[in-house]
Amino acid sequence: MELSKNYIPASAEDKWSQHWKAKQYFNSKPDGRPAFTVVIPPPNVTGVLHMGHTLNETVQDILVRKARMSGFNACWVPGSDHASIATEAKVVQMLEKEKGIKKADLTREEFLKHAFEWKEKYGGIIYHQIEKLGCSVDWDRVAFTMDTDYYRAVIKVFVDLYNKGMIYRGARMINWDPAAKTALSDEEVEYRDVQGKLYYVKYFVADENGKPTADFITIATQRPETIMGDTAVCVNPTDDRYTHLQGKKVLVPLVNRAIPIIQDNYVDKEFGTGALKVTPAHDINDYNLGLKHNLPTIDTLNADGTLSAAAEICVGQDRFEARISIVKMLGDNGQLIKEEEYQTRTGFSQRSNAVVEPRISTQWFVAMRSLADKALDAVTSGEVRIHPGDKFLATYKYWLENVKDWCISRQLWWGQQIPAWYDEKGNFVVAETEADANAAYQKQFGTSAKLSQDADVLDTWFSSWLWPIEVFKGITRPGNDDINYYYPTSVLVTGQDIIFFWVARMIMAGMEYMNEKPFSDVYFTGMVRDKLGRKMSKQLNNSPDLLKLIEASGADAVRFGIMISAPAGNDLLFDETSPEQGRNFNNKIWNALKLVKIWEANQAPGGDIANNFAINWFDNRLQDAKATVEKLYKDFKLSEALKTVYSLIWDDFCSWYLEWVKPPFGEQMSSAVYNKTVEYFSELMQMLHPFMPFVTEEVYHLLAERTDDLCVKQFTAPGSIDAAIIRQGNILKDAISGIRDLRQKNQMKPKDPITVYIQTNDQAAYEAVRSILSKQANATEIVFVNETVANTITIVIGKDRFCIATEKPMETGNQKEQLLKDLEYLQGFLISVEKKLGNEKFVANAKPEVLANEQKKKADALEKMKIIEESLSHLG
């Protein structure tokens, strides 16, 4: 068949996706092989995948394909998360914009119908993207956190933890999202440094009749809109400025309510004015002070962030509009002393991006201490390994050592409804079903009553922490064949930003409900950022369209572009140009294929491969690379593994090996060399396949008639390696490159014949490659000498001197200039090495192999300098 000029991704991708699916290669059932299990971090059904997902899915596919090709029964479970806050906000927005329907006009059941329609639409888009990327997931195992069984599992766990005393209900200061109108957990609040203002306000001291005196305390506040909720002013008991006010009261500005001046060491005398307004309803620290000093609580904000009736002024205004109004009133009143710019940290909702309000609210909580201790021990003991551990282990430990109780109730409709049932007086029971609740109520209270279910739903993470268990029905059908075979899973691949949200909580759930870790390894990808350094996200809408990238460059090029610059845990920059290198790599492979196919049609029988240096060298180079890649897989250094395979194919195979075995012009390729070349090419495609599955499967089948498919072809173990042959190959490459560089610098054409004189202590190494060196350097003769040859151009390659003779007149000036540059570089290099070796601390602490390497660098530099100096002396 005639091959296209360049590789065309679209046709190959569609063909192989359908073929793999038809063969059911990626469908897994328990059998006698060891399991390799991965559960996809379920993307939220709020839109489409961004490049962070693309990186995550690519890493998982590399690991799964490698395992499948290494004898494991690989099972990769796809799915999606209902994402209660984010999805409900999207559905509400869609209903209002497209259908003119407000949530308040719908019943819960009607709203959920619209939400499930949203899920079907966007869940389908996400799954299509995953398939287009080439992900080898088991489509028979698609899971969703609101599936009937999954829903039931979440409710069972809630009831179980409640019965164990690990879930409780109570009024606490929580984080409130005024846009989504729901509580948030501490981990759902993202703190950012923002430019704010400090407003200095007069609080007049009251006389015995509650009237203002001329005396006042100055309070510096960032949030004047909360002044009406003040219930005290607090000063440090050691602050002499306020000693005379002990036992006095001040008047709350604008509403003139008398509040006490209290004393507490909590107040920092040096910050602001040393006096603090205490607003227990709107600040966690003020709330704690209020409890300590028995202060009343006045909540001046409504659920939507507008001022409540308790504020008395600006009622119904948005909190930030009210801030402007109140600052103006204070100024008009003569109570605003000054304003100044102030850098502050403000909490934002990760879901709606609204500024979060601290608020006292009755919510459901999980007591976390005992769960956290088990999850902490699982990691610190090495039972669960984190990669890269040096970067994220400390973060994980910090979270769990400082864990707080988890607020799990959300004031939404989209999610698992809390299984608590209330009578008209507020008494409640917790049960899985309404029938169970009625029975439990009868038993507990000795009577029956009309019960209504809690309107709130559970935090999304309260369902997704069961993901590795319940995708195999471990909660709803404990002890089934799937959970016994696939659990614990092998590797979790996820982003570092949900180390506590999800990773730690899954470990908690696994230890609590399976008495076993949920996975053995956690691989943290870095954050994918845009050219401005911003994290790519749906909220910022700064991610390239994945399907458009695939359409333009192909899935393999996109995968390559994101993996080649993605060391574990490190952030990476990505834009529309990132797949270009992958596209070029595809075409390099394609051009190599076209060359090999030309040889296929022009073969001569027989041929000696036993004494063929190019074949012996590449065979050893291939085995060496295979061993390196195996170790990199084991260490989860996937970007480095890809770079190793890339260099092996682009440089060693395409740029060197194919050139070395290419027959002279007009001659045929020996069939023995051709067959060996196809064998090597096939094995290279197998090594590359986990990273770039489509182009490799296509090339594998075009190289020869096949009865198997690459995606399930089993890897062979690396063979033995002859380091001497690899070293000879490196010497040959350096010599060819050096001579070609010399030709270019001296304006010699590649076809100009030359004689090469080599002065070396290792003549045998060159003898083995003499014929290839002659051909590649276009040398009529290679001669070994003991001294510099007159009337030649001299260069130093490695530790050897090369003298190049040509019919052209010699230009010693250029040659001398280059040798002086090389000498200057080596002198600087030697100084840096000697400085390191002269550092007693470095020498004392360096590993022996590191020290030996530095000493070798010094010896090599000295030897090269000696050769250059001798060459310069011959040039005068």
Q: What is the pLDDT of residues 345-394, one digit of tens each?
A: 999 998 788 999 999 999 999 999 999 999 999 999 999 999 987 778 88
- Please indicate, yes or no, if residue 5 is contained in any of the structural domains: no
Q: Is the pLDDT of residue 813 over 70?
A: no
Q: Domain boundary residue among 333, 354, 375?
A: 354
Q: What is the pLDDT of residue 867?
A: 75
Q: Domain boundary residue among 337, 354, 371?
A: 354
Q: Domain boundary residue among 331, 354, 377?
A: 354
- Please indicate, yes or no, if residue 439 is contained in any of the structural domains: no
CATH number, domain at 333? Answer: 3.90.740.10
Structure confidence by residue, pLDDT tens digits, 390-406: 778 888 999 999 999 99
**Are 858 and 830 in contact, with CB atoms under 8 Å apart?**
yes
Tell me the three state secondary structure of residue 49: coil
**Could you tell me which of 271, 245, 273, 274 has the C-alpha nearest to residue 259?**
245
**Are 492 and 521 in contact, with CB atoms under 8 Å apart?**
yes
Q: Is the pLDDT of residue 788 over 90?
A: no
- Please indicate, yes or no, if residue 246 is contained in any of the structural domains: yes
Domain region containing 218: 192-354
Instruction: Please tell me whether 538 is known to bind a ligand.
Output: yes
Q: What is the DSSP letter of 757?
A: E
Q: CA 384, CA 518: separation in Å to the nearest integer? A: 9
Mean pLDDT of the chain: 93
812-to-793, 809, 875 alpha-carbon distances in Å: 7, 9, 7
Mean pLDDT of 442-459: 96
**Could you tell me which of 573, 576, 525 has the C-alpha nearest to residue 546?**
576
Q: Is the pLDDT of residue 810 over 60?
A: no
Q: Would residue 77 be called left, alpha or beta, if left means φ above 0 and alpha means ψ between -120 and 50 degrees? A: beta
Global pTM?
A: 0.85
Mean pLDDT of 486-507: 93
Q: CA 87, CA 415: separation in Å to the nearest integer? A: 10
876 pLDDT band (50/70/90 cuts)?
A: low
Q: Is the pLDDT of residue 688 over 90?
A: yes
Determine if the peptide bond prior to 693 is cis (ω within 30°): no
Mean pLDDT of 643-647: 97
Phi, psi of 350 (to 5 degrees): -65, -25
Structure confidence by residue, pLDDT tens digits, 154-182: 999 999 999 999 999 999 899 999 998 99
Beta bridge partners of 250: 205, 259
Q: Is the pLDDT of residue 646 over 80?
A: yes
Structure confidence by residue, pLDDT tens digits, 109-160: 999 999 999 999 988 999 999 999 999 999 999 999 999 999 999 999 999 9
Q: Is the pLDDT of residue 665 over 90?
A: no
The number of folded domains in the chain is 2
285 pLDDT band (50/70/90 cuts)?
A: very high
**CA 439 to mean position of chain CA atoms:** 48
Q: Are strands 167-177 and 357-366 parallel, antiparallel or unpaired?
A: antiparallel
368-to-285, 372, 405, 597 alpha-carbon distances in Å: 22, 6, 5, 64
- Please indicate, yes or no, if residue 175 is contained in any of the structural domains: no
- Please indicate, yes or no, if residue 27 is contained in any of the structural domains: no
809 pLDDT band (50/70/90 cuts)?
A: low
| Across 93-97, 263-267, 571-575, least confident range | 571-575
Q: Is the pLDDT of residue 874 over 80?
A: no
Count of CB atoms situated within 10 Å of the CB of 701? 19
- Please indicate, yes or no, if residue 215 is contained in any of the structural domains: yes
**Are 16 and 698 in contact, with CB atoms under 8 Å apart?**
yes
- Please indicate, yes or no, if residue 553 is contained in any of the structural domains: no
811 pLDDT band (50/70/90 cuts)?
A: low
Q: Is the pLDDT of residue 436 over 70?
A: yes
Q: Would residue 874 be called left, alpha or beta, if left means φ above 0 and alpha means ψ between -120 and 50 degrees? A: alpha
**Could you tell me which of 723, 632, 146 has the C-alpha nearest to residue 413?**
146
Q: Are strands 754-759 and 779-784 parallel, antiparallel or unpaired?
A: parallel
**Are 49 and 43 in contact, with CB atoms under 8 Å apart?**
yes
Structure confidence by residue, pLDDT tens digits, 204-237: 999 999 999 999 999 999 999 999 999 999 999 9
Structure token digits, residue 667: 């001659």
Mean pLDDT of 31-44: 96
**Are 518 and 509 in contact, with CB atoms under 8 Å apart?**
yes
With vertex at residue 560, the alpha carbon angle to CA 558 and CA 562, rounded to the nearest 5 degrees, is: 70
Phi, psi of 31 (to 5 degrees): -150, -160
What percentage of the chain exceeds 90 in pLDDT? 77
Q: What is the pLDDT of residue 271?
A: 83
309-317, long-range: CB < 8 A, 24+ apart:
310/228, 310/229, 311/228, 311/229, 312/228, 312/255, 313/228, 313/254, 313/255, 314/225
Q: CA 522, CA 491: separation in Å to the nearest integer? A: 6
Determine if the peptide bond prior to 488 is cis (ω within 30°): yes
Q: Is the pLDDT of residue 538 over 80?
A: no
508-to-91, 466, 496 alpha-carbon distances in Å: 32, 9, 18
Task: Please give the single-letter amino acid code of residue 4.
Answer: S
Structure token digits, residue 663: 């027959």
- Please indicate, yes or no, if residue 744 is contained in any of the structural domains: no
